[in-house]
Chain A
Amino acid sequence: MRQVSVRSLSEMADLVRSSDRLAVCEQPSTRIGGYGLDWEDSAVWMADDRPVDMNIVPEDFYVEVSANCPIALLQEELGRRGLWLPLEPLPLSPFEWGSVRDGLAWNYPLPESHRRGSWKDWILGIEALTAEGEVVKFGSKVTKSVAGFDGHKFLVGSRNAFMIPTTVTLRVFPEQQLERAKPLQEHRFTTWWAQRCLPADWNVMLGALNQEPVATCKESFTIWMVSGPPSQRYSGDWALSVGEQGQPPEFTAAEAWVLRRAKRQFDPSNKFNAGVLGVI
Chain B
Amino acid sequence: MKALTEMQMREAMVRLLGESSVLSGAAVRRAYDCDAYTVDRSAPSVVVLPRSTAEVQKVVRWCLEQSVPFTARGAGTGLSGGSMPALGGVVISSKRLTQILEVDEGNRRLRAQAGVVNSHISQAVAHFGLHFAPDPSSQTVATLGGNIAENSGGPHTLKYGVTAPHILGLTLVLPDGEIMEFGGGAPGRPGPDPMSLLIGSEGLLGVVTEAWVKLTPLPESVQTALVAFPTIRATSETVSAIIASGVIPAALEMMDKHILVAVKAAFGLEYPEGTEAMLLVECDGDPESALHEIQRVEELCRERGALMVRVAQNEDERKKLWTARKKGIGAMGRLAPSIVTHDGVIPPSRLPEMLDYVYAVANELGVGVANLFHAGDGNLHPCFYFDDRDPAQVEAVVAAGEKIMRRCVELGGSLTGEHGIGVEKMDMMKLMFSEADLRAQAAIKAVFNDGSLCNPCKVLPDQKGCVEHMRRWRGVAT
Q: Using Cβ atoms and an 8 Å threshold, which residues of chain B touch A137?
A: 433-434, 437
Q: Using Cβ atoms and an 8 Å threshold, which residues of chain A touch B223?
A: none
Question: Does any Cβ of B come within 8 Å of A196's Cβ?
Answer: yes
Docked complex: A145-175 residues within 8 A CB-CB of B: 145-151, 153-158, 162, 174
**Is B429 a contact partner of A148 (Cβ separation < 8 A)?**
yes
Alpha-carbon separation in the docked complex, A84 to B260 (Å): 39
Q: Using Cβ atoms and an 8 Å threshold, which residues of chain B touch A58?
A: 244
Alpha-carbon separation in the docked complex, A255 to B157 (Å): 28
Encoded as 1 (CB less than 8 Å from any A CB) or 0, chain B from 194 to 215 comes to 1011011100000000000000
A interface list, Cβ under 8 A from B = 57-62, 106-109, 113, 117-118, 120-121, 130, 134-138, 140-151, 153-158, 162, 174, 176-177, 196-200, 220-221, 235-238, 240, 248-252, 254-255, 257-259, 261-262, 265-266, 277
**Is A153 a contact partner of B346 (Cβ separation < 8 A)?**
no
**Is A149 a contact partner of B441 (Cβ separation < 8 A)?**
yes
Question: Does any Cβ of A come within 8 Å of B150's Cβ?
Answer: yes
Pick the contact of B185: A136, A236, A254, A277 (CB < 8 A). A236
Encoded as 1 (CB less than 8 Å from any A CB) or 0, chain B from 146 to 187 comes to 000011010001000110110000000000000011101111
**Is A145 a contact partner of B414 (Cβ separation < 8 A)?**
yes
Q: Using Cβ atoms and an 8 Å threshold, which residues of chain B touch A257?
A: 180
Question: Does any Cβ of A come within 8 Å of B246's Cβ?
Answer: yes
Closest chain-A Cβ to B265's Cβ sits at a distance in Å of: 30
Query: Would you mind naming 5 contact pairs between A and B with Cβ atoms under 8 Å apart?
Result: A142-B345, A149-B200, A254-B182, A261-B447, A265-B446
- If A136-B436, A237-B186 touch, does A149 touch B201 (CB 8 Å cutoff)? yes
Docked complex: B3-29 residues within 8 A CB-CB of A: none
Q: Using Cβ atoms and an 8 Å threshold, which residues of chain A touch B184?
A: 236
- If A199-B108, A238-B185 touch, does A146 touch B194 (CB 8 Å cutoff)? no
Alpha-carbon separation in the docked complex, A76 to B149 (Å): 39
Alpha-carbon separation in the docked complex, A134 to B446 (Å): 19
Alpha-carbon separation in the docked complex, A250 to B186 (Å): 13
Question: Does any Cβ of A come within 8 Å of B416's Cβ?
Answer: yes
**Is A254 a contact partner of B180 (Cβ separation < 8 A)?**
yes
**Is B349 a contact partner of A60 (Cβ separation < 8 A)?**
yes
Alpha-carbon separation in the docked complex, A268 to B106 (Å): 43
Pick the contact of B416: A145, A154, A162 (CB < 8 A). A145
**Is A147 a contact partner of B446 (Cβ separation < 8 A)?**
no
**Is A118 a contact partner of B188 (Cβ separation < 8 A)?**
yes
- If A140-B414, A254-B180 touch, does A120 touch B193 (CB 8 Å cutoff)? yes
- If A142-B412, A150-B200 touch, does A136 touch B440 (CB 8 Å cutoff)? yes
- If A144-B162, A251-B191 touch, does A151 touch B186 (CB 8 Å cutoff)? no
Alpha-carbon separation in the docked complex, A248 to B189 (Å): 12
- Supply 11 further A-B pairs (C-beta < 8 A) apart from A60-B349, A135-B436: A142-B377, A144-B153, A145-B345, A150-B151, A150-B164, A153-B193, A156-B192, A249-B191, A250-B189, A250-B191, A255-B194
**Is A147 a contact partner of B188 (Cβ separation < 8 A)?**
no
**Is B193 a contact partner of A144 (Cβ separation < 8 A)?**
no
Question: Does any Cβ of A come within 8 Å of B248's Cβ?
Answer: yes
Point out which of B192, B420, B446 has the most chain A C-beta atoms below 10 A from its C-beta.
B192
Question: Does any Cβ of A come within 8 Å of B432's Cβ?
Answer: yes
Docked complex: B419-449 residues within 8 A CB-CB of A: 419-421, 425, 429, 432-434, 436-437, 439-441, 443-448
Alpha-carbon separation in the docked complex, A197 to B164 (Å): 20
Residue of chain B at shortest CB distance from A257: B180
Q: Using Cβ atoms and an 8 Å threshold, which residues of chain A touch B182?
A: 252, 254-255
Closest chain-B Cβ to A271's Cβ sits at a distance in Å of: 15
**Is B345 a contact partner of A140 (Cβ separation < 8 A)?**
yes
Q: Using Cβ atoms and an 8 Å threshold, which residues of chain A touch B418?
A: 144, 146
- If A109-B188, A142-B346, A146-B150 touch, does A254 touch B197 (CB 8 Å cutoff)? no
Residue of chain B at shortest CB distance from A261: B447
Q: Using Cβ atoms and an 8 Å threshold, which residues of chain A touch B222?
A: none
